[in-house]
Amino acid sequence: MKAIQVRYMPCTNTKPARLKVWAHGLEPVYTSDTSSASVAATVYAHKYSWLGYNNWTEKETKLAGGTLPNGDECFVLIEVPCE
């Protein structure tokens, strides 16, 4: 199971506000678009081709999200049957 974690990083003296997006064992990605953590997680998942329809199982992989106790958002991959 893959989990994508998204952390809001406020601006500093040298860097603007940004989102840090990462999954276990993969390089983090920083995005300057801080409008939506779900959009950042979706773009990250598409980068690794984790989303979409699977012909083998006839299911579609989507993201489901929630908030961790430290304030980070976390998204997991779920398979849903296609109708």
> By residue range, what is the domain housing residue 7?
3-81
Task: Return the structure tokens found at 34.
Answer: 């801080």
pLDDT value of residue 73: 95
What is the layout of strands, in order, in the sheet containing 3-9? 29-31, 18-23, 3-9, 73-81, 59-67, 52-54
pLDDT in tens, the chain (83 residues): 689 999 999 999 999 999 999 998 888 999 888 888 999 999 999 888 888 776 666 778 889 999 999 999 999 988 887 76
| pLDDT of 55 | 67
Counted domains in the chain: 1
Q: Burial code of 71-82, b = ≥16 C-beta within 10 A, e = fewer?
A: eebbbebeeeee
